Structure 1
Amino acid sequence: MSGTECIHGFENGLCDSCFPKAAPVKPVTRASSPSRSKRVPGTPRASSAKVPSLSDQRVYHVTHISNLESILREGQLVAAASIEDSILDISSPLTRELRSAAALSTGEPVDRYVPFSLVPESTSWRELRAGATEPRWSDAARTATPTDFVFLVSTVRALGDDAVLADGDAAASLTRFATDETAITRMLGNLRADELTDDAEVLIHGSFAFDDVQLVGVASDKARERVKALLDGASFKTKVAVYPPWFIQ
Structure 2
Amino acid sequence: MAECIHGFDEGLCDVCFPRKAPEPVRAVRTAVRAPRATTVRTPTASAAPATLRLAGRRVFHVTHLRTLESIALDGALVGAAVPDVDVSSATTRELRATATAPDGRSVADFVSFFLAQDASRWEELRSGAEGAHWSDAARAAKPTEFVILAVPVDALGDDVVFADGDAGAVATRFAAGVEAGTQALRRLHASDPDFRDAELLAAGPVPLGAVAIVTVANDRVRDEVRAMFASAGLPTPRIAVYPPVFQPA
TM-score, normalised by the number of residues in structure 2: 0.83
Fraction of identical pairs, as percent: 39
Q: Is the 8 A contact 2:56 2:154 kept in 1?
A: yes
**Structure number with larger C-alpha Rg:** 2
Q: 1:111-162 CA deviation, whole Å, 9 max, x = no partner?
A: 0011000001111001101111111111100001111100000121111111
Question: 1:30-179, aligned counterparts within 5 Å?
Answer: 43-44=43-44, 50-79=50-79, 81-83=80-82, 87-179=84-176
1:243 CA displacement: 0.8
Q: Is the 8 A contact 1:78 1:208 kept in 2?
A: yes
Give the Cα separation in 1 of the matches to 2:181 and 2:19.
22
1:205 CA displacement: 1.4
Q: Is the 8 A contact 2:48 2:187 kept in 1?
A: no
Give the Cα separation in 2 of the matches to 1:66 and 1:204.
22
Give the Cα separation in 2 of the matches to 1:10 and 1:142.
26
Which of residues 203, 206, 209 in structure 2 aligns to 1:208? 206
Structure 2 residue aligned with 1:239 = 238
Q: 1:34 to 1:213 in 2, by over 3 A?
A: farther
Which of residues 182, 185, 190 in structure 2 aligns to 1:185? 182
For structure 1, which runs of at least 5 residues remain unmatched after alignment? 24-29
Give the Cα separation in 2 of the matches to 1:231 and 1:240.
11
1:183 CA displacement: 1.7
Give the Cα separation in 2 of the matches to 1:22 and 1:48.
21
Structure 2 residue aligned with 1:26 = none
RMSD: 3.1
- What code does the residue aligned with 1:169 have? D
Which of residues 220, 223, 226 in structure 2 aligns to 1:222? 220
1:109 CA displacement: 0.8
Q: Which moved more, 1:159-168 or 1:10-19?
A: 10-19
1:5 CA displacement: 6.0
- What code does the residue aligned with 1:58 have? R
Q: Is the 8 A contact 1:51 1:185 kept in 2?
A: no
TM-score, normalised by the number of residues in structure 1: 0.83
For structure 2, which runs of at least 5 residues remain unmatched after alignment? 21-29
- What code does the residue aligned with 1:248 have? Q
Structure 1 residue aligned with 2:23 = none
1:237 CA displacement: 2.2
Q: 1:52 to 1:5 in 2, by over 3 A?
A: closer
Give SS of 2:189's match: helix
Give the Cα separation in 2 of the matches to 1:54 and 1:62.
19
Q: Is the 8 A contact 1:4 1:11 kept in 2?
A: no
Q: 1:11 to 1:186 in 2, by over 3 A?
A: closer
Q: Is the 8 A contact 1:51 1:189 kept in 2?
A: no
Give SS of 1:82's match: coil
